[in-house]
């Protein structure tokens, strides 16, 4: 079989994928009460109001009903409180589904360092339970949402970026558990023919993110008279994407991505942590004395950067938000929604 037939097969699979998924009406979103999941549910229900969307979420400390209350109350989504590690709950939630978008996870690196247990059971075993159920059904698509942290760390002084072919080299228990879940999705696709796709995305920011994460943590502290904490020297660089752009990338991959395909997702904007915090302080009109340096995180990855030319080239996706606009919008949201984040700040200060 020559290279031409491979391209033809790829084209046919893209076309059939588009045709079958245009009919998609029943979607299960796991982890929809979390940061990215809730933004995805808002995005999806306004873009595809004809789809029938169900959210399965355990409502751990990171899941907030307030983030999706209006969608549940208005009947735009159905909500099931349940654990992805529980086979019975998963079987019942997956009943009649055409597609699954899997976001449920333990997601905070610092917590994974302090206590890895739930990271392994939820991120690895929970993904396995979902895949086992997917195996028993004729799902059109299982989309797994993952992170760039599976690839480890890049040196600071380089232009090098991760690609879909970069070797996995996770450095934290969180990253190791996500890497393991990616491998499981790939293995279930090869072994059992599950129609899967995977996205590995950079650092998201935007509304409804728990104040344990860098941007909301700094904003909630700065807005309540405190100082913004920066790990170590603050030179660590992250590849930032506004959460709505991540949602549109998931949309593109779910509807048009190649079966079995992996796509990196980047906002195309790298920034050091110290520069990021300086920008937030400036946006709030505060002096630089409101920044404090704190002890570094063990095993702190230096730099993440993603080459997402496959996603842009194959699917024509690109981010819509500039970093400046995204950060302004995020700062505004945290200013206007103290009622959402204030209850959680006690636990992180």
The whole-angstrom separation of Cα 154 and Cα 89 is 40
**Interacting residue with ligand NAD among 63, 170, 207, 326 (CB under 6 A):** 63
User: Which of the ranges 20-28, 70-78, 80-88, 329-337 carries the binding residues for ligand NAD, by CB under 6 A?
Assistant: 80-88
Residues with active-site annotation: 148-149, 174
**Please, which residues bridge with residue 240 across strands?**
203, 269
**Interacting residue with ligand NAD among 28, 57, 150, 304 (CB under 6 A):** 57
The whole-angstrom separation of Cα 218 and Cα 213 is 8
**Interacting residue with ligand NAD among 77, 104, 134, 276 (CB under 6 A):** 104
The yes or no reply on residue 170 touching ligand NAD (CB under 6 A) is no
**Binding letters toward ligand NAD, positions 201-230, x by CB under 6 A:** x-xx-----x--------------------
CB of 2 to ligand NAD, least distance (A): 37
The yes or no reply on residue 59 touching ligand NAD (CB under 6 A) is yes
The yes or no reply on residue 112 touching ligand NAD (CB under 6 A) is no
Pick 103 or 252: Cβ nearer ligand NAD: 103
> CB neighbours of 264 closer than 8 A, spacing ≥ 6?
148, 162, 163, 164, 199, 200, 201, 306, 307, 308, 310, 311
**Please, which residues bridge with residue 271 across strands?**
238
Neighbours of 288 (CB within 10 A): 10
Pick 194 or 249: Cβ nearer ligand NAD: 249
CA-closest candidate to residue 94, choices 58, 125, 130? 130
**Interacting residue with ligand NAD among 29, 34, 139, 334 (CB under 6 A):** 34
CA-closest candidate to residue 222, choices 294, 296, 297, 287? 287
The whole-angstrom separation of Cα 271 and Cα 89 is 41
Q: Which residue is nearest to ligand NAD (CB)?
A: 34
Distances from the Cα of 89 to the Cα of 65, 298, 344, angstroms: 19, 36, 28
**Interacting residue with ligand NAD among 27, 29, 41, 58 (CB under 6 A):** 58
The residues of the shown chain that bind ligand NAD, judged by CB under 6 A, are 30-31, 33-37, 57-60, 62-63, 83-85, 103-107, 122, 126, 145-147, 178, 201, 203-204, 210
């Amino acid at each position: 079989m020559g290279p031409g037939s491979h391209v033809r097969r790829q084209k046919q699979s893209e076309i059939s994928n588009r045709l079958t998924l245009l009919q998609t009406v029943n979607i299960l979103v796991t982890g929809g009460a979390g940061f990215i999941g809730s933004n995805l549910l808002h995005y999806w229900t306004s873009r595809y109001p004809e789809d029938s969307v169900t959210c399965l979420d355990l409502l751990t400390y990171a899941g907030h009903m307030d983030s999706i209350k209006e969608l549940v109350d208005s009947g735009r989504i159905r909500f099931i409180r349940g654990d992805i590690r529980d086979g019975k709950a998963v079987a019942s939630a997956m009943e009649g589904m055409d597609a699954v978008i899997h976001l449920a996870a333990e997601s905070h690196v610092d917590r994974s360092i302090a206590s890895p247990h739930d990271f392994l059971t939820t991120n690895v075993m929970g993904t396995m339970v979902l895949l086992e159920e997917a195996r028993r059904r004729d799902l059109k698509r299982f989309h797994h949402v993952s992170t760039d942290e599976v690839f480890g760390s890049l040196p600071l002084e380089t232009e090098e970026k991760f690609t879909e072919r970069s070797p996995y080299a996770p450095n934290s228990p969180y990253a190791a558990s996500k890497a393991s879940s990616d491998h499981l999705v790939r293995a279930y696709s090869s072994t059992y023919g599950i129609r899967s796709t995977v996205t590995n995305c950079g650092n998201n920011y935007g509304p409804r993110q728990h104040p344990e994460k860098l941007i909301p943590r700094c904003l909630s502290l700065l807005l309540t008279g405190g100082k913004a904490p920066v790990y170590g020297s603050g030179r660590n660089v992250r590849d930032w994407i506004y959460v709505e752009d991540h949602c549109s990338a998931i949309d593109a991959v779910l509807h048009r991505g190649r079966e079995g395909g992996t796509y990196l997702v980047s906002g195309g904007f790298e920034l050091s942590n110290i520069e990021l915090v300086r920008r937030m302080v400036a946006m709030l009109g505060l002096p630089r004395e409101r920044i404090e340096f704190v002890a570094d995180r063990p095993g702190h990855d230096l730099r993440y950067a993603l080459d997402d030319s496959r996603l842009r080239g194959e699917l024509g996706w690109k981010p819509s938000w500039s970093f400046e606009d995204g950060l302004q919008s995020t700062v505004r949201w945290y200013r206007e929604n103290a009622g959402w984040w204030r209850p959680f700040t006690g636990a992180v200060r």
